[in-house]
Amino acid sequence: MTKGHVTMKVNGKPVEALVEPRTLLIHFLREQLSLTGPHIGCDTSHCGACTVDLDGKSVKSCTMFAVQADGADILTIEGVAAADGTLHALQEGFREMHGLQCGFCTPGMILRAQRLLQENPAPSEEEIRMGISGNICRCTGYQNIVKAIQYAAAKINGVPFQEAAQ
């Protein structure tokens, strides 16, 4: 099969590669770029485990071909922490609020939450739940994921985080 030439920016670094037209973006990221943070939970665009940020939008990377990402600017979980290893407020929030158990959904959840907070820096609980509704978590029951995102929003906005009463 003839391979297509793609160039893109991934986690701030320029990437150039040859890909088969049938290669999904998630497989390109995981297998050709060895970025295994984005996970494959379903392959049918339901679970959100493969979510990455692409040109300022949350994208389920199992829903597009790698060649369609030619020229794109992509962020995966590997690019979320600062270069010196300092965790992003969301990563810290998930750790502090126990927003994960097995962690399978977490990379996609964090990427989705990051875009959500960029679009709406102070979301209500309902807006958070709606915002992550395309990402499935089979472990946590979501309560601590919501808290983790609220923690991050407070930290980013420089206001104290107050855990809501159960």
Nearer to ligand FES, 45 or 86 (CB): 45
Tell me: does residue 43 bind ligand FES (CB under 6 A).
Answer: yes
Give the integer Cα–Cα distance in Å for 159 and 82: 21
Give the integer Cα–Cα distance in Å for 122 and 79: 23
What CA–CA distances, in Å, run from 157 to 71, 129, 145, 152, 161?
A: 32, 19, 18, 8, 10
Nearer to ligand FES, 3 or 138 (CB): 138
C-beta separation of 157 from 122 below 8 A: yes
Tell me: does residue 40 bind ligand FES (CB under 6 A).
Answer: yes
Nearest approach in angstroms of CB 3 to ligand FES is 23
Residues 44-103 that bind ligand FES (CB under 6 A): 45-50, 60, 62, 100-103
* Residue partners of 62: CB distance under 8 A and separation at least 6: 24, 25, 26, 40, 42, 43, 44, 45, 50
Tell me: does residue 141 bind ligand FES (CB under 6 A).
Answer: no
Q: Which of 29, 33, 66, 105 binds ligand FES (CB under 6 A)?
A: 105
Tell me: does residue 138 bind ligand FES (CB under 6 A).
Answer: yes
Residues that bind ligand FES (CB under 6 A): 40-43, 45-50, 60, 62, 100-105, 137-140
